[in-house]
Amino acid sequence: MHLRTVRTSLVFIVILAASLAANPKSKIVDNTFDFGYVTQSAKIAHKFWVKSIGDEQLTITKVIPGCGCTKVPLEKENITSGDSTWMEIIFSTKKYKGNITKHPQFITNESTYKHRLSFKASVYAEPLPEMPLVLDPPLVNLTGFVPGKEKAEIIVTNTTVNDFTLNLIDVDNEYTGFEIPETIKAGETAKIYISLQNGAEANTFSKSLTFEVNDTAKSRYTIPIAYVTSGMQMTSSK
């Protein structure tokens, strides 16, 4: 009788351990992002990555953008074990001014826990005195551009007495090509070029490019990039 009880207990423990090990589980690769300086009346974007690290399929059951100024499209809701998916934050700066922080959330089939993402931006209408660089124009619209042939040009002016290095932080290579200078000398100008990738013209999109300056504040700048397909233009004009 004692031996049977021990065997029953062992079977129960094995079943319990297996059920616990088979739970879905998520991991956010990096749950924060800083857009830095960005102009008003534009849309900017960044992809957060979520990985399925459990033994069962992970399902994103609900997304909570947090406000009407933020959209959070998903690549896919169901993520097999070991696979990843992105959640793209598309933030409309509207008439915001100053430092803005937002916290979109999402829920998975792990539990009712709300996983929190966080992003921030410093929104301006006109260039601020503390900005080491001035961008002209501060945003790009690629509508009507021919992929691989035409480039939008942004003039970057260094308003300080220091030389700076520019480091790329984030860009969506699937939609846009870019050329960014490595350095910009004190009091001089340089140019950033942004183009439309082949195949990207089939989709209306709002993307952005973020770079960082090696000043003491580690200032970041985000350039909004918009594109509207020819079909959408015809529809909106009717």
pLDDT of residue 4: 54
Distance CA 62, CA 106 (A): 6
Q: Count the neighbouring beta carbons within 10 Å of the beta carbon of residue 98.
A: 9
pLDDT of residue 5: 55
**Is 18 part of a structural domain of the chain?**
no
Structure token pair of residue 87: 């959640």
Q: Is the same domain home to 114 and 35?
A: yes
Q: Is the same domain home to 137 and 223?
A: yes
Q: Is the same domain home to 166 and 209?
A: yes
pLDDT of residue 148: 85
**Is 222 part of a structural domain of the chain?**
yes
**Is 20 part of a structural domain of the chain?**
no
**Is 6 part of a structural domain of the chain?**
no
Last residue of a domain, one of 124, 159, 190: 124
Q: Is the same domain home to 175 and 206?
A: yes
pLDDT of residue 238: 36
Q: Is the same domain home to 54 and 112?
A: yes
Please count the structural domains in the chain.
Answer: 2
Q: Which residue has the tokens 């070029």?
A: 193
pLDDT of residue 230: 76
Q: Is the same domain home to 68 and 92?
A: yes
**Is 15 part of a structural domain of the chain?**
no
Residue 155 lies in domain: 133-233
| CATH code of the domain containing 180 | 2.60.40.10
Distance CA 102, CA 97 (A): 14
Q: Is the same domain home to 112 and 189?
A: no
Q: Is the same domain home to 66 and 86?
A: yes
pLDDT of residue 234: 36
**Is 9 part of a structural domain of the chain?**
no
Last residue of a domain, one of 69, 101, 124: 124
**Is 158 part of a structural domain of the chain?**
yes
CA R_g for the chain: 23
Predicted TM-score of the model (pTM): 0.87
Q: Residue 61 in contact with residue 108, Cβ under 8 Å?
A: yes
> Mind listing the pLDDT tens digit for each residue in 187-197?
999 999 999 99
Last residue of a domain, one of 124, 148, 172: 124
Q: Is the same domain home to 103 and 33?
A: yes
pLDDT of residue 235: 39
Q: Give the bridge partners for 119, in sequence order.
A: 33, 102
Q: Is the same domain home to 155 and 91?
A: no
pLDDT of residue 48: 98
CA 130 from chain centre, in angstroms, equals 25
Mean pLDDT per 10-residue section of the chain, whose length is 238 residues:
53 50 88 98 98 96 95 96 97 97 97 97 97 98 94 98 98 95 98 95 95 98 95 43
